[in-house]
Structure 1
Amino acid sequence: MRTRIPAIILLWLLIDIYFYKAIQTLSPRDNISIFYWLFDALLTSAILISAFTRSRRFISWLMALMLLSFVPKLVGSLILLLEDITRLFRGFPPRSYAVSEFVLIVAFAFAGLLLFGITRGRHYYKVRRETLFFDDLPEDFDGFTITQLSDIHSGSFSDAKGVQKGLDLVNARQSDIILFTGDLVNNQANEMDPWIDAFSKLDAPYGKYSVLGNHDYGDYIRWETKAHQQANLTRLKQVHQQIGFKLLLNEAMPISKNNAEIWLIGVENWGKGGFHKYGDLEKATAGVPDGAFRILMSHDPSHWEAVTLKHHQPIHLTLSGHTHGAQFGFEIFGFKWSPIKYIYKQWAGLYQKGGLYLYVNRGFGFLGLKGRVGMWPEIAVITLKKK
């Protein structure tokens, strides 16, 4: 991340310079210029100091301020670019005062949206529903409902009422089963201590099941010894038990209803690139009978195309998380966009190949940026139907 910071700041500076053209058109006074550049200079210095000294205390708020500064200017600059294209064919007349006013109005509107996301978006929960049809779903499971949670990141929580609002929405769904697809904490098991009682009250008649995510292993902080890190993971597994979730570690188990059953499979984290590949789908499915209906919990959605779709036993439904939808983007009229799409092919919502489905949850919590903008925290409800 630190190696990318100079490039990010360079892009920010270029956008700043370009957006400043609108400011100059509306108000050429020097005091406006001083304030405009002083704010960015102070913010840039603070970000660089925090990044290169590895200080985590203020980095989330600095990221939020950077987003508030950069995104509105980026949107405004796109409008200015369109104006400059027309000016090119008109012999470059002076910049339009009206266009510059419009640019500032749009920039302030985006800043308002960002401010809402940073201050309120972290608990602006959205219940998203999908109904999936399968030829070979056992008749007894027709209408079976799953509530999926992912990426809780309890170490980022500070607002008990906000978190409880989300948990109440989960229980209000009255789903048959609750499945959690990893990242219960940011790094350490004790981050869950204040939230054990609240999460233990989640309830579903066919139980609650979970898997580990990449953050749950404690790989992103320094430990005194490897034994301390292992002890932390052992404690985290106990926390899953305390909140009533059966943790599946490269294993599978049947979910029975009347005289029928479906199989729930859970693998440890398997991620592309530099992420650890603890997950073992072969081991997890070793005891699953042929012809069974299978649901897989796998934290990282890249596991789906890389491994799951190639497996000799078809996995009817895979549930993942991990991406958070970057906690930033927009979804409107069926169209969705987030910068995370340039890293993950499957990054939010439902995907289908050859009758096999993947659902990528946008996450319940947040990490890094203390908020969400456009990619609101999610509670997914999936209904299984017999085709």
Structure 2
Amino acid sequence: MKKVGGTLFIITLLSIVIFLDWYVYQGIKAILPADYLTLGKTTYWILTGAIAVWLGFTFYTIMQEGKISPSSQQSLNLFLVILVTQLTVIVFLFGEDLIRVIGTVYSYATGATNENGSLMASRRKFISQIAFAVAAIPMTGFIYGIIKGKYDFRTIKKTLYFKDLPEAFDGFTITQLSDIHAGSFKDYAAVKKGADMAAAQQSDLFVFTGDLVNHKADEIDPMIDIFSQIKAPYGQFSILGNHDYGDYTSWPSPEAKAQNLQSLKGKHKMMGFDLLLDENRIIEKDGQRISLLGVENWGLGFQSKGDLEKSLVDVPDDAFKVLLSHDPTHWDEQVKNHPKNIHLTLSGHTHGMQIGIETPFIRWSPAQYRYTNWAGIAEQAGKYLYVNRGFGFHAFAGRVGIWPEITVIELKKG
């Protein structure tokens, strides 16, 4: 059944690709000089046919291997660049077609004749020229995102105010990384640049909120020394994310999968991270305390192993609490309405889909159609959630408009 479903997916995908290719060709025809039309048509369809075959083979390979290999990842990158370019062109072509249809219907309804018949009968060259010119903008953006954007680390600083924050922690800082996805990285010098930026914040506390790897524990091996350089006076703490359990790849046996998870836990220790598995730790400063909680992955649509109640064992009701929970849907479903006040939850997981627009006037990402809270701060009744946009990347080996993030949270009393 799984094989049949995969075949149907590939056939459907290729049908959509061919339709998009046909639609874009209508714009190309309007631009090409008549003398080059035959050559242009032949070249275009040979190229698009080859791409369709290559795309089908790529998705077949992914389904057979159960994971995205480096070569498949590059193929997906090229597909996304082509797709976003085509869709931009089609927006203009479809708009022109819609106007043409409305004009034709109006002409028939009123009995009017179109004196400039060619305007209605054929595609206008300047519309196609505009379409391809505008399409060059997102195409360039995606190419930048693949080459440079995925390493364009940004430090985002936020200050949050709490009336019941212990006085000793007024001004206490937390640096957060999330979603390293070590298996996706090849440029370790760029990774070191990002890790050095995190270390340079000199925060009081460092936390990592899950998805250290894509599939297997050994993906992090080349970067253990890089991330072990991040130190904080009140400790380095971490949790697991959905990818860390090895659920998205094939294993020769259940024992091999379990051994991989055990190995991954050891990698956290090697980097100096105190891995919290439905546990809590007391952070003490000048005789006052806050409670740091960490749960295993809990998320809608993903494995929900985390046990919030277990992480709260022995934590006083009136303690100031910071929770590490990989998936922000946990905050929506359990945390924000929990009878014990959990003041701040730090999550990741969404990556902001690695594609979007964030300006003072526009904030959009495909992630918003899946997640209520997909990046930045959310608040309800004085309980805060912060969703980190992720340090690494997965599937799409790039970032466009949603840049890799190092978060610094300052706690203030007030």
TM-score normalised per structure 2: 0.88
For residue 249 of structure 1, report the CA deviation from its aligned partner.
0.4
Residue 43 of structure 1 pairs with residue 51 of structure 2: yes
Residue 357 of structure 1 pairs with residue 362 of structure 2: no
Residue 139 of structure 1 pairs with residue 167 of structure 2: yes
Distance 1:332 1:81, change over 3 A: farther
Tell me, yes or no, if the aligned pair for 1:43 and 1:62 is still in contact at 8 Å.
no
Cα shift readout 1:115-136 (whole Å, capped 9, x = no counterpart) = 1111112211111222111111
Instruction: Give 3-state SS (helix, strand or coil) of 2:358's partner.
Output: strand
Match of 2:316 in 1: 289
Cα shift readout 1:143-171 (whole Å, capped 9, x = no counterpart) = 11111110001111111111011011111
Letter in 2 for 1:278: K
Tell me, yes or no, if the aligned pair for 2:180 and 2:391 is still in contact at 8 Å.
yes
Match of 2:278 in 1: 250
Match of 1:69 in 2: 82
Distance 1:87 1:129 in 2: 51
For residue 35 of structure 1, report the CA deviation from its aligned partner.
2.6
Distance 1:5 1:176 in 2: 50
Cα shift readout 1:198-254 (whole Å, capped 9, x = no counterpart) = 111012121110000111111122222222211111111111111011100001111
Instruction: Give 3-state SS (helix, strand or coil) of 2:18's partner.
Output: helix
Residue 19 of structure 1 pairs with residue 32 of structure 2: no
Letter in 1 for 2:77: A
Distance 1:135 1:4, change over 3 A: farther
For residue 260 of structure 1, report the CA deviation from its aligned partner.
1.6
- Bigger shift: residues 71-80 or 189-198: 71-80
Match of residue 316, structure 1, among 343, 355, 370: 343
For residue 66 of structure 1, report the CA deviation from its aligned partner.
0.6
For residue 82 of structure 1, report the CA deviation from its aligned partner.
2.8
Letter in 2 for 1:12: V
Match of 2:39 in 1: 31
Distance 1:73 1:362, change over 3 A: same
For residue 342 of structure 1, report the CA deviation from its aligned partner.
1.6
Match of residue 239, structure 1, among 247, 267, 276: 267
Q: Pick the structure with greater CA Rg.
A: 2
Distance 1:11 1:359 in 2: 38
Letter in 2 for 1:250: D
Distance 1:18 1:184, change over 3 A: same
Unaligned runs of 5+ in 1: none
Tell me, yes or no, if the aligned pair for 1:146 and 1:381 is still in contact at 8 Å.
yes
Distance 1:36 1:295 in 2: 56
Match of 1:348 in 2: 375
Distance 1:241 1:84 in 2: 61
Distance 1:93 1:142, change over 3 A: farther
For residue 9 of structure 1, report the CA deviation from its aligned partner.
3.8
Unaligned runs of 5+ in 2: 105-119
Distance 2:74 2:50 in 1: 14
Distance 1:106 1:7 in 2: 28
Instruction: Give 3-state SS (helix, strand or coil) of 1:262's partner.
Output: strand
Distance 2:177 2:145 in 1: 20
What is the correspondence of 1:1-387 to structure 2 with a 5 Å cutoff? 2=6, 4-27=9-32, 29-53=37-61, 54-55=64-65, 56-57=68-69, 58-91=71-104, 92=120, 94-273=122-301, 275-387=302-414
For residue 327 of structure 1, report the CA deviation from its aligned partner.
1.6
Distance 1:69 1:158 in 2: 24
Tell me, yes or no, if the aligned pair for 2:317 and 2:341 is still in contact at 8 Å.
no
Root-mean-square deviation (CA, aligned residues, Å) is: 1.8
Tell me, yes or no, if the aligned pair for 1:350 and 1:360 is still in contact at 8 Å.
yes
Tell me, yes or no, if the aligned pair for 1:47 and 1:59 is still in contact at 8 Å.
no
Tell me, yes or no, if the aligned pair for 1:146 and 1:179 is still in contact at 8 Å.
yes
Distance 1:360 1:87, change over 3 A: same
Distance 2:203 2:127 in 1: 51
Distance 1:30 1:355, change over 3 A: farther
Letter in 2 for 1:214: N
Distance 2:29 2:160 in 1: 55
Letter in 2 for 1:377: P
Regions of 4+ moved over 6 Å: none
Tell me, yes or no, if the aligned pair for 2:206 and 2:236 is still in contact at 8 Å.
yes
For residue 83 of structure 1, report the CA deviation from its aligned partner.
2.9
Instruction: Give 3-state SS (helix, strand or coil) of 1:310's partner.
Output: coil
Distance 1:373 1:37, change over 3 A: farther
Distance 1:89 1:227 in 2: 64
Distance 2:174 2:234 in 1: 10
